[in-house]
A and B are shown apart, each in its own frame.
Chain A
């Protein structure tokens, strides 16, 4: 019984790779660019390039590729459902019909759309995971906060927003750990979660989710008190013990990103979109 084993989102894996040592602002900007470019990629050629670059990033980060792929496992059912939906429901007027099933038709356009969307989500997840795997929570906060600073002028409470986001990210793992303990405690009283029909199975979730929610509220309450006890008043007047500083490797990273984005944009423009 280990739930936390397969969770990679929000986990930080300490290391000394060239990617670990980049300034968080560089990493966050790069991840944002990668994600935005993903949204424009509509051909298999473009995704081939993206796959190559992502693989190179994983290699540079020194994180075992098996571990990154393991993080995709829990997403698999969602991806399959998405793919099937696209296959049967997406249509263009002049597309070829692949096969029919009951009242649904699987079209060629649907197949391509399904593939593209699945790839998109896959890489979206991988890029985000890679960011959190190589960046500690503290530097992630500092980086985001520094990047969002200009938005303060239009009245956006950047520090508070970032704090909320980071806490949410941390809670993924904490709640998973707690969930594991609760499941064990109920299993110890003889619950067999995998037995029974759909309704019976759903009923068995009550003894798990009730303590989980109550625990989450309690934790939130405690966190508030802990923050208040240390006089947290939001972003106003906060200073940093460690200020962020760009180095020469950030410059080279920027060049790499620039070159990659250039090539990818060229591929996106020149290759006819598949759909």
Chain B
């Protein structure tokens, strides 16, 4: 289910003295099964851009086409677009409202007017997908931990069975373990179900380890849109807009500038390890 964005512009508070253009001539296309990281400094427009994908924002200038349907077309069923493109918000508190976990997860499918047993099945499936234990299904929403709340929020969106999942900074404010758990849930979703993932974040470490393609947004414009490795090789540009590179990439750069024969744009620890070994071997040979 591809998403196509053509010459998209967007302004907030149109027609008031506070008018502010936040997106400028955005063009991009997203294919099935991709894992895309959308990164950019805060207030760069990445959330506004992503909210166009599931018709929370309707374009006034430019076009957004989801699965062949123009979101600005009056005939388009926006509710069905929103079920196809799931969106998980940064703060789960905006979404969670039902007394128990399972009731909250059931909210999406209930809006689809599905029969009761189908809803039940989907709730269970979604809970397994995000790794929530069955015993939690009757738990009070407000008694959950931060990580459990995030997972419930993701499950609530997954229960609609989306083909594309937009995750808007879903690891913010979690402790390292909670973060890791959420990341592995997302990784599994992409690997097993082939759900297209759009992962919005300003943490380079997370994006680097999973995304195949990275879109860098700065001040309302897409300034890079390329394979992860190629984007991270342009570290100086990234640094100039206030983004930090993954720690391992920074470390490897330092080693390289200290005279070690290492490739640029190393993204994870395993790659780093093998390239260090290779570099050391070469040095051995030369001796």
Contact = CB atoms under 8 A, between A and B. Distances in A.
Contacts of B157: 188-189
Contact of A206 (B13, B95, B97, B160): B97
A182 B94 contact: yes
A186 interface: yes
B240 interface: no
Interface in B75-112: 79, 82-83, 86-87, 89, 91, 93-98, 107-108, 111-112
A229 to B, nearest CB: 20
Interface stretch (A22-30, A61-69, A86-94, A244-252): A61-69
B16 interface: yes
B163 interface: no
Interface in B251-267: none
A211 B94 contact: yes
A190 B83 contact: yes
B228 interface: no
Given A5-B13, A188-B86, A181 B160 contact: no
Contact of B16 (A67, A187, A215): A67
B194 interface: no
Chain A interface size band reads 20 to 34
Contact of B95 (A5, A64, A211): A211
B15 A189 contact: no
Contacts of A184: 51, 56, 89, 94
Contacts, number: 78
Contacts of B96: 211
Given A64-B17, A185-B89, A190 B82 contact: yes
Interface in A184-201: 184-192
A5 B16 CA distance: 8
Contacts of A214: 93, 142
Contact of B160 (A64, A189, A207): A189
A63 B17 contact: yes
Interface of B: 12-18, 51, 54, 56-57, 79, 82-83, 86-87, 89, 91, 93-98, 107-108, 111-112, 142, 156-157, 160
20 contacts: A1-B57, A2-B12, A2-B13, A5-B14, A5-B15, A178-B94, A181-B91, A185-B87, A187-B82, A188-B56, A188-B82, A190-B82, A190-B83, A190-B108, A206-B97, A207-B98, A207-B107, A211-B93, A214-B142, A218-B93
